[in-house]
Structure 1
Amino acid sequence: MCPQDTRGPDLSLAWVGCGGLVLTVVSPGQDRCLGGNRPGARRTCPPASARKMTRLLLGVTLERICKAVLLLCLLHFVIIMILYFDVYAQHLDFFSRFNGRNSSRAQSSNSSRPNGTAPSCGPAGADPASSANHSGTEKPLLPCQEVPPGLVGRLLIEFSSPMSMERVQRENPDVREGGKYVPLDCQPRQKVAILIPFRHREHHLRYWLHYLHPILRRQKVAYGIYIINQYGEDTFNRAKLLNVGFLEALKDEDDYDCFIFSDVDLVPMDDRNLYRCYEQPRHFAIAMDKFSFRLPYAGYFGGVSGLSRSQFLKINGFPNEYWGWGGEDDDIFNRISLNGMKVSRPSGHIGRYRMIKHDRDKHNEPNPQRFTKIQNTKVTMKRDGISSLQYRLVEVTRWPMYTNITVDIGKPPPRPARG
């Protein structure tokens, strides 16, 4: 006879057939013997060791479940931390600007600051690098590293907060009059002139200066920023303005060896996109939000580009005959290819840009002749370019954050009448 169990529900092993085990649940008052109270059924009771084994198996199962849950929690934590640091890296630029500003103030006590943010101990117009090494006992500056150590990486770029020129100036006290800067702690490898074709974009310019000055300083670039402002209200000519900027920047300082040509509405989203010149002409803005962060086509050379002094002269500069929107970038790409050079680009995740949204400017309508002109680059590039440039200098103004060059570049030729 098997005893009736009056305890709560329990787990038990039933011995069946040829020694197989079956896990069963026994309710209070239920017969623990296999076969129960059925007439003629063979009644066998599992030994006590089998019940212990059942509890052991149950414990092992629960342990495995706990380990699996713990592993899932750990995986969830890792994913959260990855997302956190990705967002943190974007916000780090804000703090980096203030840290960089404080350290620069400590290093530049002997530098000239025409914008009046700090007293100057050197002669007016003195170069910060030379004034920092005024003592003959100091060691000469070492060349700046190819990849500066203070770069942040991906940046958080937004245009919703109001921006004033006073704020830009306040955040960049080490920038000299005319928008010029020289690193104080190393010898820059290149001297870069940044040229921006411009008309009626003051709102965009403030955002551009707000972001680009800190980026360029972290990149350890010796640079000057030149706004090439088209005088009057005639049709806009981007490429001709850039030709003017090339010549006027060299008149200002004749030792520029690199030229960056940038639209005022494009801001880089990663400061590892180094604004310098390379062995081949450089296209920086390869992934704009406007184009879903993709290169529109293989020959695209628009937005932001860079050429060394020798590369620019080799292609006879940019074309002067593209009045209105479009076409000049493709003409420049053709000039580069026809002169045996190739366009270099950063990687897609570094060459990302945000564009400040805006309507198309008045007097900058699409040029209906652009496709015909692009097809004739080989014929026109020797006669149309820096060698044939004509303009009238209206005014040069050196503001604290940039140099403004206003020029009269004339009017477009009359379009042929349609037959």
Structure 2
Amino acid sequence: MRDPNVTFNALHKTCTLVVLLCCLHILVTVVYYVKSLDNKQSFVQNSQHNHQTFRKLEQHPGTTEVSKPDNTLVSNNTVKESELEKCPDTSPLLVGPLLIEFSNPVSLDQVRKENPVLQNGGRYKPKNCKALQKVAIIIPFRNRDEHLKYWLYYLHPILQRQQLDYGIYIINQDGEETFNRAKLLNVGYAEALKEYDYECFVFSDVDLIPMDDRNTYKCFEQPRHLSVSMDKFGFRLPYNQYFGGVSSLSKEQYLKINGFPNNYWGWGGEDDDIYNRVTAKGMSISRPNSAVGKCRMIRHERDQKNDPNPQRFDRIAHTRETMHKDGINSLSYEVVRVEKDQLFTKITVDIGKP
């Protein structure tokens, strides 16, 4: 017969061990929680410091930031724009990963107040150096005002920290006909060039926000896919040929593929057609890594008059045959009105119907 004292001692030791393990687990959890708070605070402080530095540099064009223990700014004489040095390939104002949330509403007045350096039409250029590229950012648009507020709220500070000479163009499709994203992008290209000698064109959906400002909205040696890892797809590329969301092409690359197709009415297909155009001309798609290329999508129901295009698969299969006659060389549209705001240039256009 087993000694009851031995059984009790074994049970007591087991219970003691379980209690110790629970205490250890709680201690580890508390340590990680405190560490996460410190990291978050450091991220906020770093963002605030870079933002303050950026504002100081904007207010003092001839100022150069000198590394000193007290992080003070040493002011040089103000210089003319033609005498400015080129901005560095990698902006020193970048902060890296960003906290992107859509829980708190934003207003256009708030965005205007927080971006006082913007010029009319959503135009900006750095004052302390000469931007490496002139970038037109083109957004196809219809009935997405709430999404646009978030896009402007997050993107304007990002683009300024990236030290770009940029302008924002909202291309609004007039009327109630079926939506045509690619044709609106062609219109944006044509209209932007009427105002400025842009060298680079970034084509962005209004519901996509980058989560890292190192994902620079500029052009590269090859056409660039910027929205690499979207939360919608579990932060993974859905397929290797995917070229939707946000992309950039230089003026030379854009003309080489004859722009984008004009005959994709409704949802889907046009980004695959553009991919086919790029590869047909011997170019390849470049991408940032999946960490830098992260972005969030503002959740929404599919828009009315933007049902899936039943002809998209047939059109994609014949891209090589149609791309030379369907594109920027066959674009036709009518400008209905142009609105200039501090935050953007909104161009409402009649692009016809299917």
Higher relative contact order (CA closer than 8 Å, sequence separation 6+): 2
Q: Tell whether 2:86 aligns with 1:99.
A: no
Deviation at 1:150, TM superposition (A): 1.2
Name which of 286, 308, 326 aligns with 1:384: 326
Q: Tell whether 2:223 aligns with 1:281.
A: yes
Could you list the per-position Cα deviations for residues 256-291 of structure 1 after superposition, in whole angstroms to 9, with x for gaps in the alignment?
A: 000000000000000000111000000000100000
**Correspondence list, 1:322-361, <5 A:** 322-361=264-303
Higher helix share: 2
Which sections of structure 2, spanning at least 5 residues, go unmatched? Answer: 1-24, 63-75
Deviation at 1:295, TM superposition (A): 0.2
Which sections of structure 1, spanning at least 5 residues, go unmatched? Answer: 1-71, 110-132, 413-419
Task: State the alpha-carbon separation in 2 of the partners of residues 186 and 82 from structure 1.
Answer: 38
**Correspondence list, 1:3-14, <5 A:** none
Name which of 18, 37, 40 aligns with 1:87: 40
Taking only the aligned residue pairs, the percentage that are identical comes to 56
Could you list the per-position Cα deviations for residues 297-352 of structure 1 after superposition, in whole angstroms to 9, with x for gaps in the alignment?
A: 00000000000000000000000000000000000000000000000000000000
Deviation at 1:91, TM superposition (A): 3.6
**Correspondence list, 1:4-403, <5 A:** 83-84=36-37, 86-88=39-41, 90-92=43-45, 95-96=48-49, 99-100=52-53, 102-104=55-57, 106-107=59-60, 140-253=83-196, 255-403=197-345
Deviation at 1:104, TM superposition (A): 4.8
Task: State the alpha-carbon separation in 1 of the partners of residues 333 and 230 from structure 2.
Answer: 32
- Please give the root-mean-square deviation of Cα atoms over the aligned residues, in Å: 2.6
SS of the equivalent of 1:333 reads helix
Task: State the alpha-carbon separation in 2 of the partners of residues 139 and 321 from structure 1.
Answer: 43
Could you list the per-position Cα deviations for residues 340-383 of structure 1 after superposition, in whole angstroms to 9, with x for gaps in the alignment?
A: 00000000000000000111000000000100000000100001
Task: State the alpha-carbon separation in 2 of the partners of residues 139 and 192 from structure 1.
Answer: 19
Is the Cα–Cα contact under 8 Å of residues 122 and 345 in structure 2 kept in the other structure? Answer: yes
Is the Cα–Cα contact under 8 Å of residues 57 and 128 in structure 2 kept in the other structure? Answer: no
Could you list the per-position Cα deviations for residues 24-75 of structure 1 after superposition, in whole angstroms to 9, with x for gaps in the alignment?
A: xxxxxxxxxxxxxxxxxxxxxxxxxxxxxxxxxxxxxxxxxxxxxxxx9999
Which one has the largest radius of gyration?
1
Are residues 324 and 76 of structure 1, via their aligned partners in 2, closer, same or farther at CA, if it must alter by over 3 Å? closer
Q: Tell whether 2:329 aligns with 1:408.
A: no
Is the Cα–Cα contact under 8 Å of residues 263 and 304 in structure 1 kept in the other structure? Answer: yes
Is the Cα–Cα contact under 8 Å of residues 61 and 128 in structure 2 kept in the other structure? Answer: no
Deviation at 1:140, TM superposition (A): 1.9
- Letter aligned with residue 132 of structure 2: R
SS of the equivalent of 1:335 reads helix
Deviation at 1:153, TM superposition (A): 0.4
Task: State the alpha-carbon separation in 1 of the partners of residues 310 and 109 from structure 2.
Answer: 41
TM-score by structure 1 length?
A: 0.71
Deviation at 1:95, TM superposition (A): 2.5
SS of the equivalent of 1:319 reads coil
Deviation at 1:224, TM superposition (A): 0.2
Deviation at 1:134, TM superposition (A): 11
Q: Pick which of 370-379 and 77-86 moved more.
A: 77-86
Task: State the alpha-carbon separation in 1 of the partners of residues 242 and 139 from structure 2.
Answer: 19
SS of the equivalent of 1:394 reads strand
Aligned residues: 318
Task: State the alpha-carbon separation in 1 of the partners of residues 60 and 80 from structure 2.
Answer: 17
Task: State the alpha-carbon separation in 2 of the partners of residues 93 and 159 from structure 1.
Answer: 22
Is the Cα–Cα contact under 8 Å of residues 219 and 249 in structure 2 kept in the other structure? Answer: yes
Task: State the alpha-carbon separation in 2 of the partners of residues 408 and 134 from structure 1.
Answer: 50
TM-score by structure 2 length?
A: 0.84
Task: State the alpha-carbon separation in 1 of the partners of residues 170 and 260 from structure 2.
Answer: 17
Is the Cα–Cα contact under 8 Å of residues 91 and 156 in structure 1 kept in the other structure? Answer: no
